[in-house]
Copies of this chain bind each other. A is one copy, B any other.
Amino acid sequence: MIKDNLKKYVLLDDCPVRNVLDRVGDKWSILVISILGEGGTLRFNELNAVIGTISQKMLTVTLKTLEADGLVSRKIYPQVPPRVEYTLTPLGESLLPAMSLLVDWAMQNMSAIKASREQYSGRKELV
């Protein structure tokens, strides 16, 4: 017996919302979007240096996925050595408010969460 106002959530699994959020939820996308959101336009190696711990492969994969989704645009300058610049598209920029609300929440509440985790893990050790 499921309440009517909850039935729509059955559809949320394997649905387009899940589909979109999966990509937002990967390891590097939120970070890259945040950086481009503040930094404007950046080259591949600039992004690489700003993040510091990302591998070239994962930066490539992340940028390609974001480009395929229409969140990031890629501009190639026909030079040698190559110059490629990345920028948020309007669609990518439209994601910034929702994302920064989430990041703000995380920053404001991380101490409460850490405290809760410690309390929770402490339980077991006392049994």
What is the interface of chain A, defined by CB distance below 8 A to chain B? 2-3, 5-7, 9-10, 12-14, 16-21, 24-26, 30-31, 34-35, 38-39, 46, 49-54, 67-71, 91, 94-95, 97-99, 101-107, 109-110, 112-117, 120-121
Of B5, B13, B91, which contacts A51 at CB under 8 A? B13
Residue pair A38, B109 in contact (C-beta under 8 Å): no
- Count of chain copies: 2
User: Whole-angstrom distance from the CB of A7 to the nearest CB of chain B?
Assistant: 8
Summarize A's interface: helix, strand, loop or mixed: helix
* Docked-complex contact A21 and B30, CB < 8 angstroms: yes
| Chain B residues positioned under 8 Å from A31 (CB to CB) | 9, 12-13, 18
Known interface pairs A98-B98, A105-B98; A5-B69 also in contact (CB < 8 Å): no
B70 touches A112 (CB 8 A): yes
The answer to whether B69 touches A113, judged by C-beta atoms less than 8 angstroms apart, is: yes
